[in-house]
């Protein structure tokens, strides 16, 4: 009968071609190696970790070098440019803050702004179901408030 003989698998395979012999030798050396798969895997993992660590260190060194050169360039430009120091900027900020605190209570609405506000309120009450009809009054109010703000800022900043 055909197929009645079962083929048996032997423990060793012999390959005839040159490439097969290399594969067999490699398999033989791996099987006889005292290292297990987990050991080889651990060694490969350690090698990868070392290469990643080395690359991170190289990048860190490069970043430090760029940062240092940038700091040196900024320091050089600041000494060559205007001599505005931290203290003078802090004094200017302090002076402006003090002026704003002193004048914050003294903002007077001009008569024009009060009239514009009254016109907006009156229009919204008359057109309570159609508030979009009051756009002219709202625009006039915005213009007057902007004018008042600009005058205030000019007064505060102009005193510096």
The values of phi and psi at residue 39, to 5°, are -65, -45
User: Angle at which helices 86-103 and 135-158 pack, to 10 degrees?
Assistant: 130
Q: In terms of domains, do 149 and 96 share one?
A: yes
Domain co-membership, 94 together with 159: yes
Say if residue 49 is in the same domain as residue 95. no
Same domain for 95 and 141, yes or no, is yes
Is residue 96 within 8 Å of 107, Cβ to Cβ? no
Domain range enclosing 141? 90-102+109-160
Residues 59, 123: one domain? no
* Ordered per-residue pLDDT tens for the chain, 160 residues: 455 555 554 455 555 555 555 667 777 776 777 667 778 788 888 889 999 999 999 999 999 898 888 888 887 776 655 556 677 777 777 787 777 667 655 455 678 888 888 999 998 888 888 878 889 999 999 998 898 888 878 877 776 5
């Amino acid at each position: 009968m055909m197929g009645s003989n079962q083929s048996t698998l032997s423990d060793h395979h012999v390959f005839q071609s040159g490439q097969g012999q290399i594969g067999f030798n490699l398999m033989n050396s791996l099987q006889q190696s005292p290292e297990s798969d987990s050991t080889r895997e651990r060694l490969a993992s350690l090698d990868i970790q070392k290469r990643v660590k080395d690359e991170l260190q190289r990048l860190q060194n490069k970043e430090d070098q760029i940062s240092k050169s940038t700091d040196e360039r900024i320091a050089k430009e600041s000494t060559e440019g205007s001599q505005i120091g931290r203290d003078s900027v802090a004094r200017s900020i302090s002076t402006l803050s003090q002026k704003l605190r002193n004048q914050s209570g003294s903002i007077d609405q001009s008569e024009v702004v009060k009239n514009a506000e009254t016109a907006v309120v009156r229009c919204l009450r008359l057109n309570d179901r159609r508030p979009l009809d009051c756009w002219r009054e709202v625009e006039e109010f915005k213009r007057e408030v902007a004018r008042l703000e600009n005058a205030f800022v000019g007064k505060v900043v102009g005193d510096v």
